Each structure stands twice: as C-alpha cells, then as structure tokens.
Amino acid sequence: MKMQLTEIANAVGIEEVPENWQEITIANVEFDSRKVQPNSLFIPLKGQRDGHEFVENAMKNGAVATLWAKDHENVPTGYPVLVVDDPLETLQKLAVYYLGKINPKVVAITGSNGKTTTKDMTAALLETEYNVVKTEANFNNEIGVPITLLNMNANTEVVVVEMGMDRPGQLDFLSKMAQPDTVVITMIGEAHIEFFGTRDKIADAKLEITHGLKEDGLFIYNGDEPLLRERSKQVEQQQYTFGSSAADDLFASNVQSARDHTSFEINLVPDQTYEIPMIGKYNVMNALAAIAVAKAYHIDPAKVGDALKNFQLTHNRTEWVRGSAGELILSDVYNSNPTAAKEVLASFSQTEIKGSRFAVLGDMLELGEQSDLMHASLANYLDPKLIQDVYLVGTHMKALEQALKAKYADDHIHWYTVEQENQLVEDLKEKLTNQDEIVIKGSHGIHLEKVLSGLQNA
C-alpha cells in the first residue's frame, strides 16, 4: 500500500489533522512491533498483552504513526497519533476503504481442510496472467483478512483471500468485508466441531462465505459433499462444482500417486495429465478448486499444468523433508482433524519404500464430546503391514492407543504426553535409518514442529 497519512485519517473518520501529515506517506500497516518496517502505521491490538504497550518500540523500529484507542490515557505527543474508538475496527474500516480504492477482483476461499493449499494453488494459476496478492501464512481471521487487503500494491488485479472460522457469524463478517467476486468452499469436515456440534452446523457456517458475494459473482464448491449440494440452493449466484464424480462440472480421473507428486486428468482437457508436487487424492480436489477459479478468470489452459506442477506450498503443509539419519519425513504439523489425518495416512501408506514406515500422530483438538471416538477411528487407517510403528502424543490419543491394541503388538504402539516430546525424538532416532519414512501430523496446539525440528537436527 501507499497512502498519505491524511488520506488514512479521513478514511477512518478523522477530518481535522495537522498540515504536516500531508507529507507523511504510509507504506504498510503492522500490529507486531517486532516486524515493523520503515514508514509503517502501527496498529495496537489487544491480545495476551495490550498493543499500546509496544507503541514506543514500534516507533523505534520504523513506524511513523500509530493508532491509539481513546479509552487509553496518556496519548503520545512525539509523533502522529490517530485517536480512534477501536483500533481493530479502524483497521477493518481502512481495509474496506483501500479495497474500494484498488478495486481488484477478490477470490475468497474457505473449507474445513485444504483452504491454505487451495489458496496457494489458486494464486499460482492466476499469477500466470494477473498481478496477484494472496493471504500470507494463515492470516485468515478478523485481523489477517484486513492485513491481506492492505498489503495490496496499486497494480493488484486479483487478491486471493483465505478465510477461516471457529464460530458462527465469522465468515459472514469476513465475506461482507472483502466483498468477493468468487468464493470457494473446499470441503466440510469435523474441524471445530466442538463449537458447532454437527457437520450440518459447520456447513451452515461455511456457507456464510457467500453472504458478501457480489450479485454477479461465482460460487465454487465441492460437489461430492451432500451438505453443500443441499445448501447451494440457498445461493442465487452462478455456481460451479468440482469433485470426483461425473455429476460435477469439473472432475478428476486416473489419479496416480507417487512419493513426491500426484498426477491426474480432468474432463475438460482430454489427453492431458496434470501433476502437483504433493501426495494424496485430497490434494487433487484442492487442485480442481484452483483450476475452477482459473477457468472463471480465463487463464490459458496451456499455463495451468506448469503452474500447478511448480507452485510454492505454504510451509509445513504435507511437505517431504530429510531427517538427520537420512530418513524421509512427511511433515504436516500445522493442523489436524479426522478427515485430514485419514487422507494423509491413506496416501502415506502407499508410498514406495525400502525400509519401514512410522507415524507420529498428535491430538486433534476442538472435537468436543466426540473426540475419543474420532481419535479411535484413525485405527482403520493404520495397518501394521504398511506402517510398522505408531507414536502417539497427547491425552486424546489414548483412545487411539486402545483401539490399536487389537491390531498392533504392544511394543509397536508408543504413547507420550506433550511434555515428553524430547523423549519421543530420542526414541525415534534410535530406530530410524536412511531407508525409512515417517509422517508427522497433529493439531498446531500440540506443537509437533518441535518433533520435526528434533529429528532434523543431529
């Protein structure tokens, strides 16, 4: 972004400002004082600590102005301060203003699984013909979405916005803020079922992403999901489905998985094979969602194949890395839920291998009363002939440990508390060789990235 501080003040409802503010140009906004860049506008938000405590630090790091909540006393006087009712609401208001100023096409993506991967794929396809900005990392909430919008340059033609949710009404708010031209729902799973109770209610909440969809917009969704098929009747805008069935507008066939890639064909382009640098049929579904967006934006089909094959995946999403013993590690440590875990285990079990396979599985959080049952259900996707040892981390994984005793010998099932992750690393290092493979997957709150890091360090 690039705006005069005077324009920003006016955009958020502050009309009378000092004349010298016209000489101050804001190049970006930031709410973390440690990440402030030159010419930043600092946004002091309330988290575990109050962001107002870090204003001085932000100014030392390069910020040239700050917001300040009017219910906070001792307003600073040594630099430009915009006194507002609520800094978060002001950030959101500024994002809406800037969105209208730049006026790009907006693609909004949500789903219980796959939204970050789909976002990355979609941006890669659109970048072949447009100037594109996308959500960085998982900045997909009430703070992240406006930050994404304010990260646009003046020449941005399309912005790809990931939208997450953990409660009803959240996607309604985010969608109405971003006013998308295209919305995508990747799938309905069990993520956050603790807060919603049923998959039906999760589907209701996911459909909120269509609430801000422009009248001439496009709704793209997974047509294999009955809950979405049923609810799509509530949406008046144009619709397009993807999936694995001939009943879908776009569907895949001849799906072939290898260790580091998956190939497939689609009904729209006969005799052409597409490839993605990831394992799993579930990631083919994410690719189909991205291809559907690309079709809507008239991307040259000849460019789609190369862009999918070479797209850059957000860190820690089903990526292969090497451990210190030379073992191959399938890292998927950012998040987990039953649907995603089952898909990863199914794909991992089919890789070509000379040695043994090992699985490290951490608790899947926010599953509510059904948690033990859902953890135990993973036993159906663990076969001792295919995955020789299973390492479980966290309280909820006790249920899976019990379920596995009907299939695995006791010395091939290993359970640890979260505090015992260092011991887990040591136990794994004693067994792993350069012929072996290991998958690591768990909810982010279990922090299995520590296990990954431990295995990578000699």
Assigned token pair, 36: 């402030």
Residue 112 marked in a binding site: yes
Residue 318 marked in a binding site: no
Residue 164 marked in a binding site: no
- For 341-379, give the DSSP string: HHHHHHHHTTS--SS-EEEEEE---S-GGGHHHHHHGGG
Residue 336 marked in a binding site: no
Which 3 state secondary structure label does DSSP give 269? strand
Residue with tokens 């490290």: 360
Residue 114 marked in a binding site: yes
CB atoms within 10 A of CB 55: 21
Q: Which helix (H) or strand (E) holds 276?
A: strand 269-276
**Residue pair 174/95 in contact by the 8 Å Cβ criterion:** no
d(CA 31, CA 393): 33
Q: How many CA atoms lie within 13 A of 362 on its CB side?
A: 27
Residue 223 marked in a binding site: no
d(CA 360, CA 318): 13
Contact residues for 30 (Cβ-Cβ < 8 A; gap 6+) = 36, 37, 40, 41, 42, 43, 58, 63
* Residue 184 per-residue DSSP state: E
Residue 116 marked in a binding site: yes
d(CA 400, CA 415): 10
Task: For 157, list phi and psi in degrees, rounded to 5.
Answer: -105, -35
d(CA 313, CA 203): 26
Binding residues for ATP: 111-117
Binding residues: 111-117
